[in-house]
Structure 1
Amino acid sequence: MKTLFFLLFILSHMYSYTFEQVKEFEKNNSTLKSISLYKKLIEKNNTNAMFHLAKIYIQGKEIQKNINEAKKLLEKASELNHNKSSYLLGKLYLSKKTHFHNLAKAYNSFVKAANNEYAPAQNMVGQFLVNGIAVEKDYKLAVKLFEKASKQNYIDAQCNLAFMYASGKGVFPNFGRAHQFAKKGKELGNKKCIKVWNDFNLAKYPEDKGWKFNFYTNPEN
């Protein structure tokens, strides 16, 4: 029955199916039967299909892992300014489990997505700057990037800001502000926020009530 549905699907959607339709087909049938459909979308420069198929190759879901093909797809999607692909490509370069490991290329890939206001990439570039990975340390610029990601309600960036305010890196130390930035992440179980909270004993410091914290925690309009 599934094979029959697969054939009918191809015949009826040969020139009109969307990425969402193929994902639904994959969900109801199999990843293996969906790959050719994703490839058809990729021929039309569908970046979502590129990204999704790259993840399939990385995970080896129903097929053999193929990191080389995944990298090619991510590079192509990144060139088309697909932020998730630029970010995942950066993570691929960051991994020591592949022969693509290259910190400079990882940094540049994260920067590309960060420049497009992609919060996870902004947060990652900030961490590179804090730790001096592939670039010189720049705490002030790191804080600015963490702030941009935080304004998009990216919790990990708020945890990083909590650390910056607690340690006084790039900003004047403010434990009350660090308390505010770490509180939500701690309650959500974010390990980084929990560590900052405990390492600096932020529970004993009152929140910085005089500061407009919502400006940094609510998504930007």
Structure 2
Amino acid sequence: MTSEPSRTSSLALAALLALSPVASAQTYKKPLKGPQLEGPVSPQQGRDQAAPETSDAPLANGTDRAADSAYGAFQRGFYLTALRLALPRAETGDPAAQTLIAEIYWNGFGVARDTKKALEWYRFAANGGNREAQFALANILLKGDTVPADKKAGRALMEKAAAAGHSRAQFNLAQIIVAERPTWQGYKRAMPWYQKAAEAGVPDAQYAMANIHAEAQGVTVNNEVLARQWLSKAAQAGMPIAQLEYGIWLANGRGGAKDEKEALQWFGRAARQRNVVAQNRLARMYAFGIGTTPDVVKAGAWHVVARRAGHTDVQLDRRFADMSPLDRKRAIDLANRLTQRLALR
């Protein structure tokens, strides 16, 4: 995998980097194509294990978490204790306690999973104005998860949760609007909700805003500078497809200054999150010496990793075949180590 003259390499790589990942066999469904709805936490096996942290946790409706003993027990994984402490408050009409109980029964945390009980408590809490319960119940109804789907009721609850400031509900509502009307006007109606969710730090919404401004969907003209800013936020939040596309924008100087060194770093981040297209782009950066000195072993290793995942690249195949036997062996050894590390992530 020998290096070529830098000018030819830069031109060849720029053309390849300019290709949208969506054109590849390893596609990623953009949030704009939604809806991708996020519902209650997935059931977990076992008893008294730590509950997952989320930005919109069950009692994030103004309750003082530090002073809330039931929620504190829930967060520490003492689910039966949390249930015992929450029940008296729930029975007196506390929506936050009702939501907590619903989460416990829905996920089977410390108890046998009981979706019927969970739905009852979600309904009580949703009717009491708890946005977490509204969000969870909305997704259950929209998906028809354990109950017959009810799109109308699900959407109404999603609107309530979004209006109450639930960031994931805001993103989901925008997705629903776009799915119902995937036109410029649909994006225009959805954009305020995308923006609220994006400003609240939802990576999918930030990525959607980048696409909206890049493609002029719902806005009068495209704005690549603004699109790049939103893409940067989504990348920094850890979204692999955003990291890949941000790297492409940096490598091509789209929406701002060209920075091949930083592009290399973002390709690396996405590649280590098992984004196959990023793995291929990283191999090309090392192969052509873009943003770094040429490294045939690293180029070959990442090419092998991407190829094992199903990504085809005839040009890199030829370069890999032209490597010396020793370099090819080193590349395969490194690819094996990389594959092991990726499997552990």
TM-score, length-scaled by structure 2: 0.53
- 2:297 maps to 176
Deviations 1:130-169 (A, max 9, x none): 1110112211111111112223333232121012112211
Structure 1 residues 69 and 219 mapped into 2: Cα distance closer, same or farther (>3 Å)?
A: farther
Seen in structure 2, the aligned counterparts of structure 1 residues 115 and 10 have a Cα distance that, compared at 3 Å, is: closer
Rounded to whole Å, the distance in 2 between the matches of 1:86 and 1:167 is: 32
Contact 1:152–1:217 (8 Å) recurs in 2:
no
Flag the 1:92–1:219 CA change in 2: closer, same or farther, 3 A.
farther
Task: Work out whether 1:14 is the aligned partner of 2:137.
Answer: no
Aligned CA distance change for structure 1 residues 46 and 163 (closer, same or farther; 3 Å): same
Q: 228, 235, 257: which one pairs with 1:136?
A: 257
Matched with 2:44 is none
Q: d(CA) in 2 for partners of 1:82 and 1:216?
A: 30
Residue 186 of structure 1 deviates from its aligned partner by 2.9
CA contact (8 A) 1:86 1:110 kept: yes
| Shift in alpha-carbon separation, 1:189–1:210, aligned structure 2, 3 A | closer
Match of 1:218 in 2: 342
- SS at 2:331's partner residue? coil
Cα distance in 1 for partners of 2:165, 2:157 equals: 13
Q: Tell me which residue corresponds to 1:44.
A: 164
Equivalent residue runs for 1:195-206 within 5 Å = 197-200=313-316, 201-204=318-321, 205=323, 206=328
* One-letter identity of the residue aligned with 2:175: K
Once residues 25 and 9 of structure 1 are traced to their aligned partners in structure 2, the CA distance between those partners, rounded to angstroms, is: 15
Query: How far apart, CA to CA, are the structure 2 residues paired with 1:131 and 1:220?
Result: 32
Larger Rg: 2
User: Is the Cα contact below 8 Å between 1:175 and 1:202 reproduced in 2?
Assistant: no
Q: Does 1:165 align with 2:286?
A: yes
Residue 155 to residue 22, structure 1, CA distance change in 2 (3 Å): same
Shift in Å, 1:57: 1.7
The letter for the 2-side match of 1:218 is L
Determine the structure 2 residue equivalent to 1:3. Answer: none
Summarize the alignment of residues 114-129 of structure 1 with structure 2, pairs less than 5 Å apart: 114-129=235-250
CA-atom RMSD in angstroms: 3.2
What code does the residue aligned with 1:184 have? V
Which of 81, 87, 92 in structure 1 is aligned with 2:212? 92
Displacement, 1:122? 2.1
Does structure 2 conserve the Cα–Cα contact (< 8 Å) formed by 1:151 and 1:215? Answer: no
Unaligned runs of at least 5 residues, structure 2: 1-119
Instruction: Give 2:342's aligned amino acid.
Output: N
Alignment-mate amino acid for residue 127 of structure 2: M
Contact 2:122/2:136 (<8 A) preserved: no
CA shift, 1:129, in A, is 0.8
**Structure 1 pair 51–182 and aligned structure 2 pair: CA distance change class (3 A):** farther
The answer to whether the 8 Å contact 1:153/1:217 transfers is no
Task: Note the residue ranges of structure 1 that are not aligned, 5 or more in a row.
Answer: 1-7
Aligned length: 209
C-alpha distance 54-100 of structure 1, shift in aligned 2 (>3 A): farther
**Percent of pairs with identical residues:** 21
Question: CA separation of 1:54/1:129 partners in 2, compared to 1, >3 Å: closer, same or farther?
Answer: same
CA contact (8 A) 2:134 2:160 kept: no
Q: Distance in 2 between matches of 1:70 and 1:97?
A: 10
> Is the Cα–Cα contact under 8 Å of residues 171 and 193 in structure 2 kept in the other structure?
yes
Shift of 1:211: 4.8
Shift of 1:173: 1.9
